[in-house]
Amino acid sequence: MFRPRPESPAATIAVEVEGRTILVPAGASAAAAVLMAGLSSIRETPVGASERGPYCMMGICFDCLAEIDGAPNRQSCMVAARPGMRIRRQRGARAIEME
């Protein structure tokens, strides 16, 4: 539920948020992309399955954890959006991959 302000430069970077392609401006973080896609939460907590979304936008609250390009639990506010980036919800605890 965030929108570009009037007079903002054009959004040119295409990323995927939960399978949906959206355009975000250069300089936007993956967390900003999530908010532009209309999501207010991006994860469920591991123990209580509580819905959480970006809170501080500066890397100290750890509530914006998302799966980015297959890597789980990444602080989405600390990752710059790049063309083709795939951003998905972090559903609870990280699943262990044993090859």
Reduced to 3 states (helix: H, G, I; strand: E, B; else coil), residue 20 is strand
Residue 21 DSSP label: E
Phi/psi zone of residue 18: left (φ > 0), alpha (ψ -120 to 50 degrees), beta? left
The verdict on 14 binding another protein (CB under 8 A) reads no
Contacts with another protein in 54-93 (CB under 8 A)? 54-61, 63, 73, 77-78, 80, 92-93
If one asks whether residue 22 binds another protein (CB under 8 A), the answer comes out as no
Q: How many CA atoms lie less than 13 Å away from 48 in the CB half-sphere?
A: 3
CB of 19 to another protein, least distance (A): 19
Contact residues: another protein, CB under 8 A:
1-9, 24-29, 32, 35-36, 40-41, 46-47, 50-61, 63, 73, 77-78, 80, 92-99
